[in-house]
Each structure stands twice: as structure tokens, then as C-alpha cells.
Amino acid sequence: MYLRLDSLLESRLLNESRIFAEKEDNGSVATTSYLDRLLDPLTEVFTPEVANAVLGLHADSETEARIAELRRKANDGTLTPAEDDEYKEFVEAVDLISIIQTKARHFLAKHPA
């Protein structure tokens, strides 16, 4: 599920998540959220089939239409408080799914089918 978030929500999401730096094996520094670290054990149950299924996750057309409507309203500044809560929930879900999909990609890179 690759959905483009408006830059304001992306910034808020990054600011709200607790981010810390971690030195990688190649000497570069990567930022990792606590959520990312908490989901590390999930990779222990990955198989190539499970990882590929995770990469295939996507929103159905009804959900995509609702997200597009909320995104438009967010950009226009016309979200109601209830819609704002709904949109925030969507942003959190995308963050979670993106982290899990990244873990699936890393798993498949290390364990080709």
C-alpha cells in the first residue's frame, strides 16, 4: 500500500513518533521509531510467502476513495473534528503498514524465495 500523504501530516507523524538514531553496519546513521523496534519480532514469523503477502497489502477501492476525500479536505482545511480523527487513524495505519512492509522487503532480500 503506497499512499502519498500530504507533507503537513507526514511532518506531524515524524515529529510525534519517538525517533532515535542508530549506527548501521556500514557506518551510516539510520533513524528508527520505537514502533519499528517493537515490530522487530514480527520478522521471526516471516516466510517468503508471508512476506510477499504483506507486500501485497493495499486498500480496497472504497477505502481509497474515502482516503482521497479526507486528503482533499485536509489540504483544503475543511475537515470536521470527526474526519480529522479518521484521517489521523489512517496516517497511523499507513505508518504501521509501511514499517511492516519494509521489514518484509528486508526479509526477502536476505531470504530469497
pLDDT tens profile 6-29: 444 444 444 444 444 444 455 544
Q: Identify the domain containing residue 100 by its residue range.
A: 7-110
* Residue 97 forms part of a structural domain: yes
Q: pLDDT tier at 106 (50, 70, 90 boundaries)?
A: very high
Q: How many domains does the chain have?
A: 1
* Helical H segments across 1-113, by residue range: 7-16, 34-38, 48-55, 61-76, 81-110
Residue 5: all three cell numbers together: 500523504
| 81 in a structural domain | yes
What one-character DSSP code corresponds to residue 53?
Answer: H
Q: Is 60 in contact with 110 (CB distance < 8 Å)?
A: no
Q: Are 43 and 103 in contact (CB under 8 A)?
A: yes
Residue 2 pLDDT exceeds 90: no
What integer pLDDT is reported at residue 54 of this predicted model? 94
Domain-located, residue 1: no
Q: What percent of the chain has pLDDT over 90?
A: 50
Look at residue 23 and tell me if it is in a domain.
Answer: yes
pLDDT of residue 26: 55
| Mean pLDDT, residues 39-59 | 91
**According to the model, what pLDDT value does residue 23 have?**
45
**Is residue 80 helix, strand or coil?**
coil
For residues 26-43, give the mean pLDDT.
Answer: 71
Q: Cα 38 vs. chain centroid, distance in angstroms?
A: 14
pLDDT at 27: 53
Would you say the pTM of this structure is higher than 0.75? no
